Amino acid sequence: MQAMSGPQTMLAIARSASGTHPVFCLMPRSVSTDLDAYLQTGQRRVSGWQALHPHVFVSFEDEQAFTNINQPLPQTP
């Protein structure tokens, strides 16, 4: 991936016009142990863990790609 071509970059994090989307990221398997240790401390913000590692943001134009499907649908009369 072009965005991760730097020697120190470990994570590529999705970003769109509405903001960053930390759970949509590309990372090497080698950081999974560190992520697990972070979660074991009780931390739950993925963006907090990502801030501890070299990263880049990758822009996406398709805002619908990040639609939250967990939101309830509008009620029809």
In the predicted structure, residue 1 carries a pLDDT above the cut 50: no
DSSP string, the chain: -GGG-SSS--EEEEEETTEEEEEEEE--GGGHHHHHHHHHTT---HHHHHTTS-EEEEE-S-GGGG--TTSPPPPP-
What pLDDT is stored for residue 7 in this prediction?
57
Residue labelled with tokens 């996406």: 60
Check if the beta carbon of residue 13 is closer than 8 Å to that of residue 66.
no
* pLDDT tens digit sequence for 30-66: 999 999 999 999 999 999 999 999 999 999 999 888 8
pTM > 0.95: yes or no: no
Ranking 11-20, 55-64, 67-76 by mean pLDDT, the lowest is 67-76
